[in-house]
Structure 1
Amino acid sequence: MVRLRSLGQRIFAQLDRPARVVVVAFGSALVVGTLLLALPVATESRESVSLVVASFTAASAICVTGLVVVDTPTHWSTFGELVILGLVQVGGFGIMTLASLFGLLVTGRLRLRTRLVTQAETKSLGPGAARRVVVGVVRTSLLFEAATALVLIPRLALGYGEPWGRATYLGVFHAISAFNNAGFSLYPDSLERYAADPWILLPVALAVIAGGLGFPVLLELRRELLKPAKWSMHTKITLGTSGLLLALGMLAITAAEWTNPHTLGGMSIPARLLNGFFHAVMPRTAGFNSVDVGDMHPGTWLFTDVLMFIGGGSAGTAGGIKVTTFALLAFVIWAELRGEPHVNVGRRRLPEDIQRQALAIALLSVGAVMACTLILLAITPFTLDKVLFEVISAFGTVGLSTGVTPELPAVGHVMLTALMFLGRLGPITLGAALALRSRARRYQLPEERPVVG
């Protein structure tokens, strides 16, 4: 007994860093989800699926991605669908956010260690803000999910003749999937059957945008919505960059697919604009589609790749390198082109460690995407544009697909599973969790400038 206690203390000591606990928690949820989906009761046929399929689906759900290797509504039973929905909700909350909420409900207060873990997951500004952030995360998530469901349910029941029970199930499932940027759908064609219905597409799109902004932004907007002068740098950058990317995305995708008879070409002008907007929102890492992505032009795929790689806001349900990382790198480049000694954003100076962190996240992400793309090109017959699209969709936890993911070999599915896990946690978090310890250097080396460019 003493040995077991000592072993437990040593294991916990190795998990004293919040980033490590986050990784272990997500990994544990992935294992539990895999085991539940591997049960015979989780499938319509009452036959167990392979661990590769179960783990891929569980990772796609807990990492709020939406990529699938089997058709969700026809392959999984109601039990399996509820497991997927539960994993999506847990992944959206954040494992540590949910655990901190349970601790808050049971003890009425949060321990310092729990606060630090919550800070790592929610990106809150300080340990003392953890309690407020946890409660705010839960309230905000449930509010947006309930509002979206309340729009979808009557539309499905009254507009499409769904029984109220079935309409409620569909509305709640898609509302949770939308706000958490998961992209799982209970229709084989995702939302293509609703391509001309703004009462379905717009609520889903708005829920995706809200979830993709990130919890810190949503919480700040709730307090200071009408006082933009008091918004933090993070909120201003997230809103400004997100709005710019959304506008450019809608313009580029709508123009590229305007005459494509397989996507927007056969629709009315209002429907084209609606679907152009919808597909500009989805690369924020949602994964729903109202037209067949596989029928889009390669140029549209490439532009979507860029949007998926950038992703959405930090500390939310979106993936990618995040819009703040993208914007900060743009500010760094602009300052360098102007010869400025410091990087300034508005009336604030950007710390050097934040610049290094943004650069590290971007380069590590590019490396991960390129490595997986090269491997998949070597082991599959698919072309570069399709492979790159699937890889970025997995890394950015998006879920959009050209249709080749189910046809990948088991090795490819395992690789995309790992990539989704990496994309959800972030290269920096995962690296910090795996590092043994940080080292402080007590001296500085002489400076020397190499030739650049």
Structure 2
Amino acid sequence: MRARGLTASVLRYPVRAVPLAFLGAIAVVTALLMLPAARAGPGSASFLPALFTATSAVCVTGLNVTDTLEYWSTFGHVLITVATQIGGYGIMTVALLLALLVSQRLGLRNRLLLQTESGGLSLGDVRWVLLRGALIVLVCESTIAVILAARLWLEYAYPPGRALWYGVFHAVQAFNNCGFALFDGSLTRFVGDAWICLPITFGVIAGSIGFPVLFDLRRWWRQPAHWSVQTRLTIGGSITLLVVGFLAILAAEWANPHTLGPFDVPTKLLAAFVQGTMPRSGGFNSVEYGQMRDESIAITIGLMFVGGGSASTAGGIKVTTFFLLAFVLWAEIRGEPDVVVGRRRIATATQRQAMTIALLGVAMVAVGTLLMMAFTRGLRFHWAMFEVVSAFSTTGLTGGVTGALPTEGQVLLIVLMYVGRLGTIIAASALALNTRHRLYQYPEERPIVG
């Protein structure tokens, strides 16, 4: 009877179960990382490094306060890999299933609209969603792992077993948009190696798209006219941000003697592509961010804040949210009565939800940056914001200051990683479930705006 009551409570209030599930996963991984077997050196890991690493792995961020290769043992690396896989796959399926659960609580019209945007799925398709999602993850990660392992074995003379393990580890990190690396300096030693950088980068892009869009593309990839608004916004927005990020980083860093300046043209192009893609929530870097120019840091902060697609392994306020607000702004500037995307009118409630999520994200970043500066007393403003946005968007990029932060700063990043990973999903679900219809209206008044 208790089990049935718990199940009924979860189905009735699904947004309450997800944060508790992730807290439970973080607690378990933290406890396992504190075992002596998880640390490479003598003794066991302290509580704060274990908690920080566990939160970063489960929330697929990639920030760390220790050297991943030197501090953790092989057992610790396996724990990080498993936690990343659970966190990445879990957040993709949870986000999609929450959307389906929300659809059952809405009216018929809104339910049909939501199912259209989720690829026509329903709660009866849960098993299909889980199996097909697992298959997508397996195929993508296996492909990346094989390419990386072959390259490390044939070109860098890694022993076959070690090459395969490194390939698997970084394939899981790439697809799940987590940035843990077993190489010193992330991908900096491979800055000109396309066989290492491109598979990881394309893995990040694939993971940042999301299950709803992947399912939609599988059905209609040859017929873009049949794409849902969700797919149009995600694909179009992602391509736009990838191009903007690539060109902006290339232009800003082309002559920088500390980053792209010394490289030949092909290496510059490859490095700019990697650096412009990773702020989508990837967490890897082939050039040190601490050496990049201020304009590049500003561009990276903006890209991190937007993040990737909904129901994906990426964080941020999401591409759909950002570009939906762009369409709202364009419609308002033109004086259009409706916001239209792909010959579909966007509901007013959806516009308000997008606005709410974006403003909540801005508030979290603003408060987090102020607290970070108060805790550190000496950290420059743009680096404080960089660390805060990186944690909130679960990107995992750093200017090299994460490990040097005081305890209060590290705890703040832990909170931001957790809230940022679950915040947009929980907020969107709660807002959708909280839709009310009044049977009356108050008199209208227009205050002066601007």
Fold match (TM-score > 0.5): yes
The runs of 5 or more residues in structure 2 that have no matched partner are: 106-113
Contact 1:25 1:95 (8 Å CA) reproduced: no
Q: How far off its partner does 1:237 sit?
A: 1.1
Answer yes or no: is 1:159 the counterpart of 2:155.
yes
Determine the structure 1 residue equivalent to 2:446: 449
Of the three residues 140, 143, 148, the one matched with 2:139 is 143
CA distance in 2 between counterparts of 1:289 and 1:349 reads 39
Contact kept, 8 Å, 2:91 with 2:312, in 1: the verdict is: no
Q: Do structure 1's residue 250 and structure 2's residue 259 form an aligned pair?
A: no
Query: In the TM superposition, what is the alpha-carbon distance from 1:183 to its structure 2 partner?
Result: 1.1
For the residue of structure 1 that corresponds to 2:134, the secondary structure is helix
What is the match of residue 108 of structure 1?
none
* Alpha-carbon shift at residue 160 of structure 1 (Å): 0.3
Asked whether 1:373 is paired with 2:365, we answer no
1:21 is aligned to 2:17: yes
The change in CA–CA distance for 1:325 and 1:435 in structure 2 (over 3 A counts) is: closer
CA contact (8 A) 2:92 2:311 kept: no
Shift of 1:436: 12
Residues 46-74 of structure 1 deviation map (CA, whole Å, 9 limit, x = unaligned) = 42222221111111101110000001010
Tell me the equivalent position of 1:353: 349
SS at match of 1:400: coil
Do the aligned residues in 2 keep the contact of 1:287 with 1:400 (CA within 8 Å)?
Answer: yes
Q: Where does the alignment leave 5 or more consecutive residues of structure 1 unmatched? A: 102-111
Displacement of 1:306: 0.3
Q: CA deviation at 1:137?
A: 1.0
Aligned partners of 2:346, 2:211: CA distance in 1, in Å?
Answer: 22
Cα contact 2:250–2:269 (8 A) shared by 1: yes
Which residue of the other structure, out of 49, 54, 61, is the alignment partner of 1:65? 61
Q: Residue type matched to 2:89 in 1?
A: F
Give the conservation status (yes or no) of the 8 Å contact 1:20–1:432: no
Asked whether the 8 Å contact 2:92–2:211 carries over to 1, the reply is no
Tell me if structure 1 keeps the 8 A contact 2:340–2:346: yes
Per-residue deviation, residues 151-209 of structure 1 (Å, max 9, x unmatched): 11111000000000000000000011000100111112111111110010011111111
Alignment correspondent of 1:313: 309
Farther off after superposition, 221-230 or 437-446: 437-446
What are the superposed Cα offsets for residues 86-126 of structure 1, whole Å, 9 maximum, x if unpaired? Answer: 0100011116948x99xxxxxxxxxx989979x99x96753
% of aligned pairs identical? Answer: 51
Tell me the amino acid that sits aligned with residue 325 of structure 2. Answer: L
Q: Counterpart in 1 of 2:190?
A: 194
Q: Which amino acid aligns with 2:449?
A: V
Q: Does 1:332 find its partner at 2:328?
A: yes
Q: 1:123 to 1:46 in 2, by over 3 A?
A: farther
2:130 counterpart of 1:128: no
Q: What is the deviation of 1:6?
A: 6.2
Sort the Cα spacing of 1:376 and 1:152 in 2 relative to 1 into closer, same or farther, 3 A. same
Counterpart mapping for 1:210-225 below 5 A:
210-225=206-221
- Which amino acid is 2:282 matched to? A
Match of residue 419, structure 1, among 413, 416, 429: 416
For each residue in 1:304-348, what CA deviation from the matched residue of structure 2 results, as whole angstroms up to 9, or x when unmatched? 000000001110100001111000000000000011111111211
1:78 aligns with 2:39: no
The 1:82–1:123 alpha-carbon spacing in structure 2 relative to 1, beyond 3 Å, is farther
Q: Aligned residue pairs: how many?
A: 437
Secondary structure of residue in 1 paired with 2:232: helix
User: Aligned to 1:385, which of 382, 403, 408?
Assistant: 382
State how far apart, in whole Å, the 2-side matches of 1:148 and 1:96 are.
Answer: 19
Query: Paired residue for 1:239?
Result: 235
Distance 1:313 1:438 in 2: 24
Aligned to 1:50: 46
Q: 1:46 to 1:189 in 2, by over 3 A?
A: same
Deviation per residue, 1:22-46 (Å, 9 max, x gap): 1111111111111111222111114
2:204 matched to 1:208? yes
Structure 1, residues 395-437: CA drift from partner, whole Å, max 9, x if none? 1110110011111111111111111111111245058679998
Q: Higher mean Cα deviation, 89-98 or 400-409?
A: 89-98
Q: Distance in 1 between matches of 2:398 and 2:237?
A: 25
Farther off after superposition, 10-19 or 249-258: 10-19
Whether the 8 Å contact between 1:312 and 1:320 is mirrored in structure 2 is yes
Q: Who is 1:403 aligned against?
A: 400
SS for the counterpart of 2:12 is: coil
Supply the AA of the counterpart residue of 1:195: V
Structure 2 SS opposite 1:271: helix
AA of the residue aligned to 1:398: T
Contact 1:68 1:406 in 2 (8 A): yes
Counterpart Cα distance in 1 of 2:365 and 2:152 = 39
Could you tell me how far apart the structure 2 residues matched to 1:194 and 1:96 are? 30
Q: State how far apart, in whole Å, the 2-side matches of 1:219 and 1:432 are.
A: 21
CA 1:367/1:53 → structure 2, altered by over 3 Å: closer, same or farther? same
Tell me the alpha carbon deviations over residues 350-382 of structure 1, each in whole angstroms, 9 at most, x when there is no partner: 011110110000000000010010011112120
Q: 2:318 aligns with which of 292, 299, 322?
A: 322
The residue identity in structure 1 corresponding to 2:404 is E
1:264 maps onto 2:254 in alignment: no
Distance between the aligned counterparts of 1:230 and 1:251, measured in 2?
31
Deviates more, 1:42-51 or 1:296-305: 42-51
When residues 436 and 51 of structure 1 are mapped into structure 2, their CA distance, relative to the original with a 3 A threshold, is farther
Residue 104 of structure 1 corresponds to none
SS state at 2:353 partner? helix
Q: Against the structure 1 CA distance between its residues 95 and 322, is the aligned structure 2 distance closer, same or farther, given a 3 Å change threshold?
A: closer
Q: Give the Cα separation in 2 of the matches to 1:373 and 1:113.
A: 35
